[in-house]
A = this chain, B = another copy of it.
């Protein structure tokens, strides 16, 4: 009987997740039943949303996340042995997949990546990329020549949003949390300007970088930096709210305060829309987005950087690294 290991979340996080909030459980895998598949994990994703969703799950629960694996045993004709699958099975080395239809528990065959690295299937060619692609294009509706701001610009989603904005003919300004990231965004990813929010006067730096105002804002951060950016937006500006990483370590019942945005929202007739990638659960949207993104990577228009950590035992450290902003590009663990 095969031994499997998985990370179980035992406690609700208080602020930053702690190692003790997790337990690595080793157990015997049961024989698979009709309809099920047994998957060996190869690439496992670590993302900020794992923290965000924690309060909404009863503990203990198995740590979910996207992953790429290979089917070892199958009683499901759609996924024969040897098939590479992308699933939301999360932090395990082996796992049995028994749910296929849930919008979040999505399971699909690894798309044909035509030689691109497989780990991209949990990054730019997976949930991360679809989030950037659909969120930015459908909610910001960027037009050529417009000015686009991205916060969390060096993160997995933000770095893709900025590059899509360049493809669409926009001027792109990114905020990130270190000079190394700023350098990477400007010199490698083609951002017109990147600003270290930790050392800059944000309002002043933005006025200088975007003298004609901001048309689109892709918000990964929330809080005061968002109030500042929104106060500099042009009439009919659009904001896609994807993340609120500035508040992820806060008690959700006692969130921080930031400068009110309503005067700008009214005067400039702004539209601010929050989203999760779940809204694009139409099965056509993902393949469409992934195909476009793959084409852009192959043609050199998008650089998809993976921040790879090796070892199943390093999943927690990789996750904390993401929450601390230590990654440039998409964080992923090689099992």
Interface residues of A (CB under 8 A from B): 52, 219, 222-223, 226, 241-244, 246-247, 252, 255-260, 262-276, 279
- Give the CA-CA distance A62 to B14 in the complex, in Å: 57
Task: Report whether B272 and A244 are in contact in the complex, using a CB–CB cutoff of 8 Å.
Answer: no
Q: Which residues of B contact A260 (CB under 8 A)?
A: 222-223, 244, 246-247, 255-258
Query: Is the CB–CB distance between A244 and B263 below 8 Å?
Result: yes
Chain B hits for A259, CB < 8 A: 255-257
Given the complex of chains A and B, what is the CA–CA distance between A266 and B274 in angstroms? 4
Instruction: Give the interface SS of chain A, mostly helix, strand, loop or mixed.
Output: mixed
Number of copies: 2
Query: Could you tell me the distance in whole angstroms from the C-beta of A103 to the nearest C-beta in chain B?
Result: 13
Q: For the complex formed, measure the closest distance between the CB of A238 and the CB atoms of chain B, giving whole angstroms.
A: 10
> Do A273 and B275 touch across chains, with their CB atoms under 8 A apart?
no
Chain B residues whose CB sits within 8 angstroms of the CB of A262 once the complex forms: 219, 222-223, 226, 241, 244, 247, 274
How distant is the Cα of A262 from the Cα of B219 in the complex, in angstroms? 9
A129 to chain B, nearest CB (A): 18
Q: Are A274 and B279 in contact (CB under 8 A)?
A: no
Given the known interface contacts A255-B259, A255-B260, the answer about A266 and B276 at a Cβ–Cβ threshold of 8 Å is: yes
Residues of chain B with a CB closer than 8 A to A243's CB: 266
Contacts of A222 in B (CB 8 A): 260, 262-263
20 A-B pairs within 8 Å (CB atoms) are namely A222-B262, A223-B260, A241-B265, A242-B266, A243-B266, A244-B262, A247-B262, A255-B259, A255-B260, A255-B263, A257-B257, A257-B258, A257-B259, A257-B260, A264-B274, A267-B274, A269-B275, A271-B272, A271-B273, A272-B272
